[in-house]
Amino acid sequence: MSANEPPVPPTPRPHRRAAALVAALALAGGLLAASPATPASGAAVPATIPLTLTNNSGRGEQVHVYVIGTELSTGRQGWADASGAFHPWPAGANPPSPAPEASIEGPASGQAKTIRMPKFSGRVYFSYGQKLVFKLATGGLVQPAVQNPSDPNASILFNWTEYTLNGSGLWINSTQVDMFSAPYAVGVKTPDGSTRTTGHLKPGGYNAFLSSLRSQPGGWGGLIRTRSDGTVLRALAPGHGIEAGALPANVMSDYVNRVWSKYSSQALTVTPFKDQPSVKYFGRVSGNTMNFTDASGAVVTSFQKPDSDSVFGCYKLLDAPNDLVRGPISRTLCAGYNRSTLLSNPNQPDADDANFYKDAVTNHYSAKIHAQMADGKAYGFAFDDVGAHESLVHDGNPQQAYITLDPFN
């Protein structure tokens, strides 16, 4: 893991799109805005740090909290209790068997509670009113599948943050890669006593996002899921919406077709590493293939014409392996497609958010989330960190972490 690397989720579900933050790699200091701080000389990140959860939601339901992930010192998967002690998952089964009880009682509305966060690459889940259902398959933990209406958690109001705590510090983010749901923000306290935060919506931003999505032509309002009692549970990310039949499968096709046409007669230049401006790749379309060459003219990788799901998920035909060529080019393409900057700028990535989401065919879900964020930062899709537009905070010597459950307004 590089010093610039954002957090990664724990055991991915077998059906989960692989790109959802797991490949958000800042290779060789690449696409993030700046290198994060590292621990001061002589400082060491302890085995656990305090995590304070503050409930400003205004909701009366009991909050249930779960800290799950991979223990970095051993690679074992499991959960942590309120003291930060690690508990490995037992063996799973086929069909999946119930996981051990891992919930921690969260704070009541208007209250705060401090637990301990261990050195994990993992998630902190929180749910309102009902405990989440986790099961263990032979391949590991089965996590909630928000796009599956028959998932046992489908009617539960919940969300999660993703984090990594290791010897180089803490990375913690708010994420909308899979869904927009219960609002929250994250933070980290630094050695000088200051706090960095991200993830807060603007006042009224929760309802403004939902209203804007409902009014977006083209079926985007179909992403919103509501419980039988009228509670809005979540808005699915568009890739999950396609999978669930809530969004047309060809929703991005017109834009992709126009990109394909444009770069059949000119080159798309990709400069994937911010600190290596001399490293450039040149994409040209031939038939159904976009070939990328290096400065010598040698083909280094090729992409088939992506479908909408590949664009939204940054996977399948836009797969981004952890390498130094295809992965960085793919992340850049993914960001360009989702932000609809590939036609307006033949030099990518375009890091200026004033240019994002201007085409009528774009990732309206991500655009509307960013529009309602207090600091403009979000993880509206897996590679929203291209150009440093992601909702992530980091410190190399964290004193404390924070999760704030925000109001639903």
Query: What residues are labeled active site?
Result: 162, 178
Inter-helix orientation angle 205-214/364-372, to 10°: 160
Cβ 103 vs Cβ 131: under 8 Å:
yes
End-to-end CA separation in angstroms for the chain: 38
Dist. CA 170–CA 66, nearest whole Å: 18
Categorise residue 110: left if φ over 0, alpha if ψ from -120 to 50, beta otherwise. Answer: left
How many residues belong to the chain?
Answer: 409
Q: At what angle do helices 253-262 and 326-339 cross, to 10 degrees?
A: 120
In 3D space, the residue among 205, 186, 182 whose CA is nearest the CA of residue 197 turns out to be 186
Q: How far is CA 75 from the centre of its chain?
A: 22
- Contact between 102 and 68 (Cβ < 8 Å): yes
Rounded CA-CA distance 238/379 in Å is 13
Residue with tokens 């077998």: 14
Of residues 155, 157, 125, the one with CA closest to residue 141: 125
Evaluated on CA atoms 374, 380, 385, 387, the torsion sign reads negative
CB atoms within 10 A of CB 37: 15
Written as six digits, the tokens of 224 are 């919103």
Q: Which two tokens stand for residue 186?
A: 């994250």
Vertex 256, ends 250 and 260: CA angle to 5°? 140
Q: Could you tell me which of 107, 52, 109, 101 has the C-alpha nearest to residue 81? A: 101
Q: Which one, of 271, 274, 278, 277, lies nearest residue 292 by Cα?
A: 271
Number of helices (H) and strands (E), helices first, in the chain?
A: 6, 24
- Give the count of alpha carbons within 13 A of 119, CB side only: 14
Q: Which two tokens stand for residue 350?
A: 């375009």
